[in-house]
A and B are shown apart, each in its own frame.
Chain A
Amino acid sequence: MFIFFLVYVQAQFSSKLHFHYPNADESIAEFRIINKHEIDFTKTTQPFSLFPRSFLENLHIEGKVRELYISSTQGMMPELNAPQHGVLIITNEDADQQIAINQISEIFRIAKYNMIHDQAYYYKFNGNQSYLSFMGFDDDTIQVGKVLLAQDPTDNICIDGIESILKYFGCNGKKGVAQIIDPNTIFRSSYLSLQAKFQYDESTKTAYQKIVLLVKYETQSISKIFNLDPNLSYHSCPEFDSEFIQHSTREITYNLKSAEQFRMGQLSKIQDDTNMIKYSPKITLRKFSAGPWFAFDSYIHLQVTANEDGIVSVLLYFPHEFTPIYHTLETNLESQKQFIWEKETKKIIINAKIKQNETFLVKIKFSKKLKSFEEYPHDPERGQDIITTPVIFNGELYLTSHQVTRQPYPDFSMPFNILTFSSLAMGYFFLQILGMAVDKFILNKPEKGSLAQRLLRKIFSLISF
């Protein structure tokens, strides 16, 4: 699928590179590309597709998909409270969501069953005042009912997606801000998030596309991650209507369109002498899964340490393959517990008042269930993810890390053999009973023969009916 422009009246193509400095040692670079075209697809003569294939190689969405949002991350960024994840939201009127689920499970390589039955799990994000936000689209709202949360962070598509998405950064990534992105070295960063949103408005006949790339890295190693050869000169991409480089702390904005030439070395110099902002979260979270990895039951432990007084709400979520054992739920502080069941997903909401420097401990046992063949991911040995637990403290949302727990699985190699042997034994028994029920026993006096003959007769009498 690719964007095929035949006729456009008005286009708007802008890019921005924004640097943030959450703490003394780390920096965040946010690339934002916005592309708006008026396209009348009804006048096109050749077949068209709306979404870039390069980013979604395996995705073959059929039907009239009007909005596509995809996000894929790698690493951890506590400042965003964002865990590793992959999210795909498809808004469509006519397309079959079932087909979409089947197709996107190929990308994220998780079991389809998770996506169908765990759709009750969602949470809203409200963008905060700064440009940092979980989604990267702080001015957009996501329709909560259509969120499909994927959980396979090691199979994220950043790796293949980065190189081919560069062409959407304008000038095939050879000019403009995209020039500093080096697909070979960018993965040395501690956090990488690629988010893309594509939308087509039929009434205004406008195709809208927004791509955000967030990179967090150690400030000292900026030159190892980005393509910042001091000898290279930077040229603005003529396709862009506007191009800016922005720094949070010194509120410096460089308009690259007006600057005729800009050296990459200047960027790094700006990095060296900026004031840094200290970031301090209000709570510290620690979540882990306890118990032997081979056990049929396991424990979840959650520790919340507060830096100030407040009310904490914990949302524990169990998908269909895990069943919490409710009577094992323990907390060290007095708390209100609420159990919610939505089809096959189970949620536990725990509210408690917590004082400064106090630790709130939550512990619960859960049992691991066996799934059907088709419900296992392609690599069942990896285990099953227990996704992040949202913790709301004084109105602010925090997310814990996610865990991976080993799950038992049947032997995938022998279902046919087991079926055959079982059916053989059951059929034999059934016919034995049925045969004896209708048979008339006529006792024949056995002829005395040799030992071998008597033995053979005995064996035949055992197996015959």
Chain B
Amino acid sequence: MYRIALILKCLLWFLGKWDVDLTWLPYFSNPYTQYNNIKEAKYLIANNYNPYSSDGIFQKPLLIYGLIIIDNDLVFLIADILICFLVAYLFGAKQGYRKSILLFYHLNPIIFANIILKNTNVFDHLFMLLTIFSALKTKFLSPILFGFLLYLNPQYFIIFAAISVIFRRETETTQKFALKLVGFLLLSALTIWCLLYISYQITGDWQFIEKTYIDYYFPKDHRPTIGFLWALFSGLFSKYKSLYHAFFILLPICYILPLYNLFVKYAKREKEYLGFMIGVSLFCSFLYFQYVSISDLVIIFILLFQRYDWLFNSLPTIVIVHAGCLILFLGGGLQLIWTDSFTGNPNFTFFQVFVSYVFYVILVSEGVREMLKFRTIQKTEEKEKIKDKGEEEKKLKDEKKERKVIDDKLKED
């Protein structure tokens, strides 16, 4: 079934005339992911200028130069298909779940619009999944891929919690685990340094660091996005901006240890928790980022739904539909009122994003709570089973003793 959907999607992409400009769609692309930046960089490079002299190009040098050299839109379709298969392969332990991921992904118009828009965050998602894949399968590539992922988007540092869980699962002693982690971090740092140096060689100076890593957190764009902090930073006084930025950049790092603690206890043997853990980690990290695009949220929700069977038991499941409607329909509508007329209050856009995020926060935190309870129930049941087994054995032993005593008595008699 999903194969048919995939073939239809590819045919639609190949045969459809996709010169239409979809950049008017709210929330689908933002200044960090838009393909317009690649076009701008291409033009400046063709005229012998450093593309990072201009404002507004946030993609990293290797990505820009890579896309200019490849110069074929097929790379976005290939990346998209790879992402889908990686998600299904890595996290779709149950057959039914695997099929539903593939169908949901390929039949999703948001994902298709993302391919048409040629948003460059598709490569961030791809490298994230490749990092997890290599952490599970081929160990030596994982630090290199993690370094590449951080080079592309530092916000993905939160994946380190999931990688720590994978490593802990596979090492017996704490010392070996610590050595493995330190080695991993050192290799990743080395990879990042090499990539930065190559970027310096390509662009000719270090200007790209200021534009793509520092200005990254201080953009001056005004298009509202579904990033929770957009409204906060857009309306903040300059005096306090640096303080808040420093605070919100560092806060995702504080999540790494709690997330590791949460999942290492329960994910030691079961692979299914890994996808859910990564979904929760990404949500924690992107909550503190101003510019979240809708495709980022789609990936997060696919991963969060991994444990859908027990999620349906909890109340927040119902709000997913509400949140989705709020973002796409009500939010889009209000966005058009504000952006097309500048007469509405931009706080309308903020409040509908805020309400959606309240629901997402409840969803994620209650999802984790239910997962822990579920695991606690499982553990309790296991313990009770063991206890019952023990009691049964004791009973049998007692019965045997009684029988022996009766037999002995009979013998005496």
Contact = CB atoms under 8 A, between A and B. Distances in A.
Interface of A: 292-294, 296, 321, 323, 325-327, 337, 339, 341, 346, 367-375, 406, 408, 410-412, 414-415, 418-419, 421-422, 425-426, 428-430, 432-434, 436-438, 441-443, 458, 462
A372 B241 contact: yes
A418 B235 contact: yes
Contacts of B322: none
Contact of B222 (A337, A370, A414, A419): A370
A373 B229 contact: no
A434 B257 CA distance: 9
Given A346-B54, A428-B361, A436 B372 contact: yes
A437 B262 contact: yes
B54 A326 contact: yes
Nearest to A415: B235
Given A326-B40, A374-B237, A441-B373, A425 B358 contact: yes
21 contacts: A296-B223, A341-B53, A368-B222, A369-B221, A374-B238, A410-B234, A411-B235, A411-B345, A411-B347, A412-B235, A418-B235, A426-B288, A428-B361, A432-B365, A432-B369, A433-B255, A436-B368, A442-B376, A443-B373, A443-B380, A462-B362
A238 B275 CA distance: 94
A430 B235 contact: no
**Which among B284, B361, B364 has the highest number of chain A CB atoms within 10 Å?**
B361
Contacts of B237: 372-374, 415
B272 interface: no
A327 B40 contact: yes
Contacts of A323: 54-56
Given A296-B339, A408-B346, A410-B235, 5 more contacts: A326-B40, A327-B40, A337-B47, A418-B231, A437-B258
Contacts of B342: 293-294, 406, 408
B43 interface: yes
Contacts, number: 142
Interface in B331-354: 339-342, 345-347, 350, 354
B406 interface: no
B43 A443 contact: no
Contact of B258 (A325, A346, A433): A433
A370 B235 CA distance: 10
B365 A429 contact: yes
A293 B259 CA distance: 47
Interface string B272-314: 0000000010001001100000000000000000000000000
B230 to A, nearest CB: 10
A292 B235 CA distance: 24
Nearest to A463: B362
A190 B365 CA distance: 68
Given A368-B222, A372-B241, A441-B373, A425 B354 contact: yes
B307 to A, nearest CB: 15
Interface centre among A293, A294, A323, A426 (most CB of B within 10 A): A426
Contacts of A434: 258
Given A326-B43, A408-B342, A422 B229 contact: yes
Contact of B372 (A326, A426, A441): A441
Identify whether the interface residues of A are mostly helix, strand, loop, or mixed.
mixed
A42 B220 CA distance: 51
B325 interface: no
A433 B232 contact: no
A345 to B, nearest CB: 11
Given A370-B222, A443-B380, A415 B261 contact: no
Contacts of B340: 292, 294
A208 B251 CA distance: 61
A325 B376 contact: no
Contact of A296 (B39, B222, B257, B364): B222
Nearest to A422: B232
Nearest to A323: B55
Interface residues of B, number: 62
B221 A294 contact: no
B261 A437 contact: yes
Given A294-B340, A425-B354, A419 B347 contact: no
B284 to A, nearest CB: 7
A325 B41 CA distance: 10
Contact of A414 (B221, B341, B347, B372): B347
Contacts of A294: 339-342
A442 B372 CA distance: 10
Q: 10 smallest A-B Cβ distances: which pairs?
A: A370-B222, A327-B43, A437-B258, A369-B220, A432-B365, A410-B235, A437-B261, A372-B238, A294-B342, A441-B376
Interface in B14-46: 36, 39-40, 42-44
Contacts of A462: 315, 362, 366
A253 B377 CA distance: 107
A370 B361 CA distance: 28
Contacts of B345: 411
B221 A370 contact: yes
A419 B365 contact: no
B140 interface: no
Contact of B42 (A327, A418, A428, A441): A327
A246 to B, nearest CB: 52
Given A372-B237, A443-B373, A425 B365 contact: no
A418 B232 contact: yes
Contacts of B56: 323, 367
Nearest to A373: B237
Contacts of A458: 315
Contacts of B354: 421-422, 425
B112 interface: no
B212 to A, nearest CB: 16
Nearest to B357: A425
Contacts of A326: 40, 43-44, 54
A321 B221 CA distance: 10
B236 interface: yes
A433 B43 contact: no
A8 B340 CA distance: 65
Most B CB atoms within 10 A — which of A325, A375, A429?
A429
B346 A410 contact: yes
Contact of B235 (A321, A373, A442): A373
A183 B380 CA distance: 93
